[in-house]
A and B are shown apart, each in its own frame.
Chain A
Amino acid sequence: MEPLIIEGTAKTPNVKFESEEGLIEIKGRSIPENSIEFYKPLVEWLEKYGEEPKDLTQVNVQLEYFNTSSSKCILDVFKKLETIHKGKNEVIINWHYEEDDEDMLEAGEDYESIIRVPFKMIEIVE
């Protein structure tokens, strides 16, 4: 399966989805006015990946900012990962936040309470 690589912009994050390594990464800023368009290929890629996932899928989310339009699309991404996890394949979501960013930590905890996938909260210390 082809990897999905998208370069980040001022309003959208870097995306690196690698099926061979079972690695899913979303990093940077996610603040587009309309996030549906941006996240559509990500959700579609995961749906396909879910047909034959690796035994372990490592997910790294490291966002500096994300808006409420993105928050729903990120939930859609996590729901696809939840389906993979339900299918007896291991999935871990590593939620990164900067040390003083309580809002970002809380956002991760919100997702953790909705999605049945193990989360690891990782503080980035500068």
Chain B
Amino acid sequence: MTFDVNEYYSELSGDNVLIAYKGNVSSELISNVLEAVETRMEDFSEDSKIRKKVYNVLVESLQNLYHHIEELPPEMQKDFDQKFGILVVSKVDGQYKISTGNFIEEANIPELKNKIDKINSMNKDELKDMYKFILNHQRLSDKGGGGLGLVDIARKTGNKLDYKFNRYNDEYSFFNLDVFINAQK
């Protein structure tokens, strides 16, 4: 059965949502989302330490999407924007949850899965070492991505990256990533 992206999106966009978006992920969209979320958090006077953490993790989540979204083939562009992604930021049970989603080609799944599993198996110090190693030894891609986003997210949140690959068709799956930030000091 095909994964229903729209249904998944409506399920995510329930209560306590700060922002929900589906569509083309562009640089302007990222600016708008960041501004909106910053304003929302100021409105309900969130603690500045948590506000910064959410903002930081949101920047990395959005820019990960921006750098890694694959341009969809014409037959899928009937239903989705060319650089389609989803984003939902919500607050549930004392945690901020940042959910992102994008299509990924089957062939690219193992590499991403291995990377996340590796990150999830590491403790705080190991993540710090990995971050410093990549920072010092890996060059930026032409697009400006550095392979540090997920490591940074894991370090800053102190939580495991929650992910799923949902089969969409023979070539594509829909990749969901949920990131949690504890809102208690």
Listed in ascending order, the chain A residues whose CB lies under 8 Å from chain B are: 10-11, 31-36, 64-65, 67-69, 71-73, 75, 98, 100-103, 106, 110, 113-114
- Mark contacts of B115-158 with chain A using CB atoms, 8 A cut-off: 1 yes-contact digit, 0 otherwise: 00000000000001001100110111001111011001000100
Contact B56 A65 (CB under 8 A): yes
Number of B residues contacting the other chain (C-beta, 8 Å)?
A: 32
28 A-B Cβ contacts within 8 A?
Answer: A31-B34, A33-B27, A33-B30, A33-B66, A33-B143, A34-B144, A35-B140, A35-B144, A36-B140, A65-B55, A65-B56, A68-B60, A68-B152, A69-B63, A69-B144, A69-B146, A71-B135, A72-B138, A72-B139, A75-B135, A101-B49, A101-B52, A102-B49, A103-B53, A110-B132, A110-B135, A114-B132, A114-B136
B1 to A: closest C-beta gap in Å: 35
| B113 beta carbon closer than 8 Å to chain A | no
Q: In the complex, A34 Cα to B27 Cα: how many Å?
A: 10
A114 to B: closest C-beta gap in Å: 6
Q: Is the interface of B mostly helix, strand, loop or mixed?
A: helix
- Mark contacts of B24-68 with chain A using CB atoms, 8 A cut-off: 1 yes-contact digit, 0 otherwise: 000100110011000000000000110011011001100100110
Contact B59 A65 (CB under 8 A): yes
B179 to A: closest C-beta gap in Å: 14
Contact B156 A103 (CB under 8 A): yes
B70 to A: closest C-beta gap in Å: 16
Q: Which residues of A contact B131 (CB under 8 A)?
A: 110
- A67-B56, A75-B136, A101-B49 known; 13 new pairs, CB 8 Å cut-off, are A10-B34, A33-B143, A36-B140, A65-B52, A65-B56, A67-B59, A67-B63, A68-B152, A69-B146, A71-B146, A72-B139, A72-B140, A75-B135
Q: Which residues of B contact A113 (CB under 8 A)?
A: 132
Q: Which residues of A contact B31 (CB under 8 A)?
A: 10-11
Which of A65, A68, A106 has the most CB atoms of chain B within a 10 A radius of its CB? A68
